[in-house]
């Protein structure tokens, strides 16, 4: 007993001394961590408001009435949408700008002179003056949330008819709202320097000021988010904090030693074995492994409960996998039926109509191939991209012109994509392959087409269709048909970009790039 008491006293003294030594450093870490968390919460609130503004701008930009107004057709648009003086106040906007496709301003509202010009300058510097974007703009010493969207029809078909720009000022009311939400004073300012984007800290009396730079759209100025957080001594009280910590250390040390002796002999060893069994199940993924359950105490009951949960989990997973595979199998069969119906219909139509039905059938087959890949894999989460593109190439190749010889080559990296990405990638690649087969080799009996999928160095992936055909005439562009419109919509869905360029040695290269944030 004497040895145990000496050991407990020595451990408590050691813990107390160590706590005293590291108190200053620990309190500083606490202060900086809390200050950084506070300023990052302000940044998240700013991002959330920016996201809400972008949603509002998107809804207006993809509204058919806006589309007709941008094309000069909806003359009563402004009267019906912005006729009341309170409309802009209700929206909380500091700026609103409609531009047509030529860049001409159709309507402009700005809460301060020069705001619209400053917003457009920032969007131009960010490369978002045509396709749109969102971010922060520092104009005349004020901070504004900015969202811009290309004006499109609600079904996303047809060309863009201009740009819609909306802004909201980060004013004192916004700062007061943030201060109330996080319980700390918040200050937003503009600094005439590039943004550092890493938090900085400075002491102001017994408080800590945390600052975080956010770049504006032009990346020439920094929007500085500042939060004044109390120090640990101010927050907890120096004497009370030290006294409470000392008492806590002593109690924890004493109780810990007693509990170690008791639990080691009664619970810890058995709990350790249960933990090892669970780690073995988790590491192997084998849900058929069971935890030994002996005795009638609480731990034995826990082991039997865990074994029952493993039984139910295994059954649920098997049922879910079977259900999903059956679902994808039925979808594939239904798509095959639709493809066969289109094929039968094309035989009773004119040549031009039959060609269009044939292209529609190829699109249906592309979706059926994706479903077939899902059904063939044990897991329905991700799909190997190259085998999918290989089957797609074979399907398209079966419908090529009878006079054209050669095959479609396949190359690239072993990539996997989610089911949500597989369908639009397959449809876009199928359109590009069909265009190459039917339009790249007029009057020729041989031609080479290569289908490739590769990982991009900065993340994401690219899909290419390369041919050695006639290419586009000098200064020419691909025809604005349904195929190209479908590719544009698919690229928008993938949050990616595409383009056509001359191939080395002649021919054309179609390239679709998908950013890393879309590929997950």
What is the per-residue pLDDT across 452-469, written as a single tens digit (0 to 9) for each? 999 999 889 999 999 888
Exposure string over 291-316, b if 16+ CB within 10 A, otherwise e? bebeeeeebeeebeebeeebeeeeee
Please tell me the total count of domains within the chain.
3
Is residue 340 domain-resident? yes
- Phi/psi at 296 (5° precision): -125, 15
Strands 416-418 and 222-230, by their bridges, are: unpaired
Q: Tell me which of 252 and 421 has the higher pLDDT.
A: 421
What share of residues in the chain are helix, strand, coil (percent, to 5)? Answer: 55, 20, 25
Which residues, including other chains, have CB under 8 Å from residue 25's CB and lie 6 or more apart? none
Is residue 277 domain-resident? no
Tell me which residue range forms the domain holding 458: 381-520
Instruction: Please compute the mean of the pLDDT values over residues 224-249 and round it to a whole number.
Output: 69
State the CATH number of the domain containing residue 139. Answer: 3.30.450.220
Q: How confident is the model at residue 238 (pLDDT cuts 50, 70, 90)?
A: low
Angle (CA) 239-245-250 rounded to 5° is 130
CA 461, CA 493: separation in Å to the nearest integer?
15
Exposure string over 381-407, b if 16+ CB within 10 A, otherwise e? ebbbbbebbebbbebbeeebeeebebe
Q: Alpha carbon of 224 to those of 114, 183, 238, 440: distances in Å?
A: 22, 19, 31, 54
| Helix (H/G/I), strand (E/B), else coil: 210 | strand
Strands 222-230 and 207-215, by their bridges, are: antiparallel
Same domain, 166 and 184: yes
Is residue 501 domain-resident? yes
Which residues, listed in sequence order, are joined to residue 330 by a DSSP beta bridge? Answer: none
Is the model's pLDDT at 510 over the cut of 60?
yes
* Predicted local confidence at residue 520, as pLDDT: 67
Is residue 265 domain-resident? no
Same domain, 469 and 512: yes
Reported as a single tens digit per residue, the pLDDT across 329-376 is 677 677 667 767 766 666 667 766 766 666 677 777 777 777 777 666
Same domain, 18 and 156: yes
Reported as a single tens digit per residue, the pLDDT across 427-446 is 898 888 888 887 878 877 78
Reported as a single tens digit per residue, the pLDDT across 74-98 is 778 887 887 655 577 788 888 999 9
Same domain, 408 and 307: no
Is residue 275 domain-resident? no
Q: Alpha carbon of 56 to those of 91, 106, 309, 314, 419: distances in Å?
A: 9, 19, 46, 45, 29
DSSP collapsed to 3 states, 96-161: EEEEECCCCEEEEEECCCCHHHHHHHHHHHCCCCCCEEEEEEEECCEEEEEEEEECCCCCCCCCCC
Of the residues 211, 234, 257, the one at which a domain ends: 234
Is residue 478 domain-resident? yes
CA 450, CA 399: separation in Å to the nearest integer?
17
Same domain, 316 and 402: no
Count CB atoms within 10 A of the CB of residue 365.
25
* Predicted local confidence at residue 343, as pLDDT: 64
Is residue 281 domain-resident? no
Same domain, 394 and 464: yes
Same domain, 356 and 423: no
| Helix (H/G/I), strand (E/B), else coil: 505 | coil
Same domain, 363 and 389: no
Is residue 389 domain-resident? yes
Of the residues 380, 406, 422, the one at which a domain ends: 380
């Amino acid at each position: 007993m004497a040895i145990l008491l000496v050991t407990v006293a020595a451990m408590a003294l050691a813990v107390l001394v160590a706590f005293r030594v590291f108190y200053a450093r620990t309190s500083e870490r606490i202060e900086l961590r809390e200050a950084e968390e506070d300023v990052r919460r302000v940044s998240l609130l700013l991002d959330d408001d920016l996201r809400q503004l972008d949603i509002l701008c998107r809804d207006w930009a993809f509204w058919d009435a806006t589309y007709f107004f941008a094309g000069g057709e909806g003359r009563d648009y402004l009267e019906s949408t912005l006729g009341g003086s309170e409309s802009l106040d209700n929206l909380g906007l500091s700026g609103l700008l409609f531009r047509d496709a030529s860049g001409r301003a159709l309507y402009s509202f700005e809460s301060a002179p020069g705001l619209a010009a400053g917003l457009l300058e920032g969007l131009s510097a960010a490369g978002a003056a045509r396709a749109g974007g969102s971010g922060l703009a520092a104009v005349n010493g004020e901070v504004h949330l900015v969202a811009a969207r290309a004006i499109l029809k609600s079904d996303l078909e047809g060309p863009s008819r201009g740009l819609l720009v909306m802004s909201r000022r980060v004013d004192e009311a916004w700062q007061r709202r943030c201060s109330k939400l996080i319980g700390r004073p918040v200050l937003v300012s503009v600094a005439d320097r590039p943004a550092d984007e890493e938090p900085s800290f400075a002491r102001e009396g017994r408080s800590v000021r945390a600052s975080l730079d956010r770049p504006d759209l032009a990346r020439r100025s920094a929007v500085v988010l500042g939060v004044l957080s109390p120090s640990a001594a101010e927050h907890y009280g120096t004497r009370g904090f030290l006294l409470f910590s000392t008492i806590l250390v002593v109690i924890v040390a004493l109780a810990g030693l007693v509990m170690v002796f008791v639990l080691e002999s009664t619970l810890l060893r058995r709990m350790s074995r249960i933990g090892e069994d669970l780690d073995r199940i988790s590491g192997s993924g084998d849900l058929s492994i069971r935890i030994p359950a002996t005795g009638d105490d609480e731990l034995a009951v826990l082991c039997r409960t865990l074994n029952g949960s493993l039984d139910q989990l295994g059954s649920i997973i098997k049922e879910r996998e079977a259900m999903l595979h059956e679902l994808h199998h039925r979808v594939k069969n239904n798509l095959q039926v639709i493809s066969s119906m289109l094929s039968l219909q094309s035989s009773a139509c004119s040549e031009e109509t039959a060609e269009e039905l044939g292209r529609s059938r190829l699109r249906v087959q592309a979706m059926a191939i994706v479903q077939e890949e899902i059904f063939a894999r044990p897991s329905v989460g991700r799909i190997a991209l190259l085998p999918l593109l290989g089957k797609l190439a074979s399907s398209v190749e079966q419908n090529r012109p009878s006079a054209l010889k050669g095959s479609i080559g396949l190359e690239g990296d072993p990539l996997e994509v989610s089911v949500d990405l597989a369908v639009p990638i397959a449809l876009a690649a199928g359109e590009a392959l069909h265009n190459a087969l039917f339009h790249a080799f007029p009057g020729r009996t041989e031609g080479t087409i290569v289908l490739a999928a590769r990982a991009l160095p900065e993340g994401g992936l690219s899909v290419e269709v390369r041919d050695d055909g006639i290419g586009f005439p000098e200064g020419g562009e691909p025809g604005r048909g349904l195929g190209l419109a479908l590719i544009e919509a698919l690229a928008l869905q993938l949050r990616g970009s595409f383009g056509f360029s001359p191939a080395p040695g002649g021919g054309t290269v179609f390239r679709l790039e998908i950013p890393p944030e879309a590929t997950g």
